[in-house]
């Protein structure tokens, strides 16, 4: 070996040694600061990852709640997933620092695991792209447009009622897993509201698209707790990664086809009426995609086909499982509280009388008590139990230094049960949301749709959908839950799901 090669190798080892030493020193300082934040004991390299993985999926939410109760007075705690620090915020006071910030708007890398599906849509994007798209999309949720979407909601709810009726005839003495039914109903609603296509999910038992959507979000969450699967190259060599890629391709193929067809239809209408001052006739009920295309043209802000797909997929992701979960949890709560159900029926009698006609949008808006029931459901069972951000600048919170690069996780599920802000927090009580009982409540004590700049753009859509579905069901049947509060098992993914469904008895009124 000549002197030149020896010199080259020596230099290379020296450079590597210096870089490794520098990284270790910087990591030591970083970890030393992070560990001043209270939290469970972590092991070197793996942190708390092995401990979390050993916790059964159905017990993971309870595991986190136990930590919340242990560090309740601190308002935050930290855990390590490998060498990545995660700080969990669990009180309205600490949560408000994150959510009201105008600079801490970058989502954490956990969302990168659904980015192959969602791209840089509203949920995953940040900076100027997020600001522009948010501005473009906001008008598509105007109240007048929500009325258009309600046409689809009423139609698909009638299908849901028929599906429940069929199941009751088949198994009259058995409870129904309402979560399975509501999931298909909300998928029908969101696909037609978002893309203008009827996928008939409630009648098609083997719908490939519906399966793909469910598996994408489930797999993405499971990946977060396995640090060795965080590397994309390695992940996509595994069977899990290959299946995930297949589900994403299935979802994209469907959405791309719909976008192509809707753009072609819009182009034909414009070609038939070339006068730019002519307002071409539009269908009575337009989909989100149609309104988005119109907004692009109106604002002179064209989106590529990929950008359109990303926003449509984001609408589907954000509005499918979430509404299904809330409808299911609401029926679970109502079915466990006969006095609440009685008040709902008294309100129905006052507004609908003896009429058997479907509700109108005006009547739905008058259902104040039902709306409080939905709000209380979202307090106890928030559809999205947590949201995550990346800390992009050193920030002091509750006397602790939260460093740049840390993942900040807002645990909405526990904030909604914080005993300092919610007396008897596990009790279901819709009257908490009476105006006189809401006065003086911390503005960040109730955040089912997040808060601040990145609050949920579709929250009015969600509440309207949930009111329409619940009203149709509860006008037809009385419900009784087959499972009590202390028996229900749920797990926290992107969505708070029931572990074994939600079994409900339906009794004809």
Does the pLDDT value for residue 280 go beyond 50?
Answer: no
Asked whether the beta carbons of 495 and 383 are under 8 A apart, the reply is: yes
Please report the DSSP string for 482-504 in residue order. Answer: SS-GGG--EEESSSEEEBTB-EE
What residues form the annotated binding site?
456
**Around Cβ 268, how many Cβ atoms within 10 Å?**
11
Query: With bands split at pLDDT 50, 70 and 90, how would you rate the model's confidence at 273?
Result: low
Other C-beta atoms within 10 Å of 183: how many?
Answer: 25
**What would the two tokens of residue 312 be?**
């449509």
**Separation between Cα atoms, residue 364 and residue 230, nearest integer Å:** 45
C-alpha separations of 107 from 5, 64, 95, 252 in Å: 47, 21, 15, 23
Confidence grade of residue 399 (pLDDT, cut at 50, 70, 90):
very high
**pLDDT score at 272:** 64
pLDDT recorded at residue 278:
36
Average pLDDT over residues 281-299: 74
What domains appear along the chain, each with residue ranges and CATH number? 58-77+112-383+411-439+454-508 (1.10.630.10)
**Mean of pLDDT over the chain:** 89
User: Given a cut of 80, is residue 205 above it in pLDDT?
Assistant: no
pLDDT at 5 over 80: no
CB 488 within 8 A of CB 317: no
Whether the per-residue pLDDT at 424 is higher than 70: the answer is yes
Q: Is the pLDDT of residue 285 over 70?
A: no
Binding residues for heme: 456
> Helix or strand or coil: residue 410?
strand
Q: Which pLDDT belongs to residue 482?
A: 96
According to the model, what pLDDT value does residue 233 have? 93
Q: Which residue has the higher pLDDT, 22 or 440?
A: 440
């Amino acid at each position: 070996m000549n002197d030149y090669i020896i010199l080259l190798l020596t230099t290379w080892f020296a450079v590597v040694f210096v870089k490794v030493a520098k990284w270790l020193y910087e990591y030591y300082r970083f970890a030393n600061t992070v560990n001043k934040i209270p939290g469970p004991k972590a092991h070197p390299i793996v942190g708390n990852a092995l401990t979390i993985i050993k916790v059964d999926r159905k017990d993971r939410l309870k595991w986190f709640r136990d930590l919340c109760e242990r560090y309740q007075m601190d308002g935050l705690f930290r855990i390590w997933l490998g060498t990545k620090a995660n700080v969990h915020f669990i009180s309205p006071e600490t949560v408000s620092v994150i959510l009201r910030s105008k600079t801490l708007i970058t989502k954490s890398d956990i969302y990168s695991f659904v980015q192959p599906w969602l791209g840089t849509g509203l949920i995953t994007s940040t900076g100027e792209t997020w600001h522009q798209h948010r501005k473009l999309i906001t008008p598509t949720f105007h109240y007048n447009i929500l009325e258009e979407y309600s046409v689809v909601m009423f139609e698909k709810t009638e299908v849901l009622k028929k599906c429940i009726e069929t199941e009751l005839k088949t198994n009259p003495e058995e409870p129904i897993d309402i979560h399975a039914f509501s999931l298909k109903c909300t998928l029908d609603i969101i696909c037609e509201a978002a893309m203008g296509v009827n996928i008939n999910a409630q009648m098609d038992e083997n719908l490939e698209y519906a399966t793909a959507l469910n598996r994408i979000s489930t797999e993405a969450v499971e990946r977060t707790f396995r640090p060795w699967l965080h590397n994309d190259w390695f992940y996509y060599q595994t069977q899990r990664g290959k299946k995930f890629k297949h589900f994403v391709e299935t979802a994209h193929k469907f959405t791309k086809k719909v976008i192509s067809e809707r753009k072609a239809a819009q182009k034909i209408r414009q070609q038939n009426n070339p006068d730019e001052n002519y307002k071409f006739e539009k269908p009575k009920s337009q989909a989100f995609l149609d309104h988005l295309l119109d907004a692009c043209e109106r604002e002179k802000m064209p989106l590529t086909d990929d950008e359109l797909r990303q926003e449509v997929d984001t609408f589907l992701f954000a509005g499918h499982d979430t509404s299904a979960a809330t409808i299911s949890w609401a029926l679970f709560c109502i079915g466990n509280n006969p006095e609440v159900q009685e008040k709902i029926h008294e309100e129905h009698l006052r507004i609908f009388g003896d009429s058997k006609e479907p509700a109108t949008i005006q009547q739905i808006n008058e259902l104040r008590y039902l709306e409080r029931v939905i709000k209380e459901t979202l307090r106890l069972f928030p559809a999205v139990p947590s949201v995550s951000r990346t800390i992009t600048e050193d920030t002091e919170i509750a006397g602790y230094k939260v460093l740049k690069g840390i993942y900040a996780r807002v645990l909405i599920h526990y904030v909604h049960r914080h005993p300092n802000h919610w007396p008897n927090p596990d009790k279901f009580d819709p009257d908490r949301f009476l105006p006189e009982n809401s006065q003086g409540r911390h503005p960040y004590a109730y955040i089912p749709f997040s808060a601040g700049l990145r609050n949920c753009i579709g929250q009015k859509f969600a509440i309207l959908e949930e009111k329409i579905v619940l009203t149709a069901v509860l006008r037809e049947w009385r419900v009784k839950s087959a499972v009590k509060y202390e028996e229900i098992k749920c797990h926290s993914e992107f969505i708070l799901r029931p572990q074994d469904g939600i079994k409900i008895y339906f009794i004809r009124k």
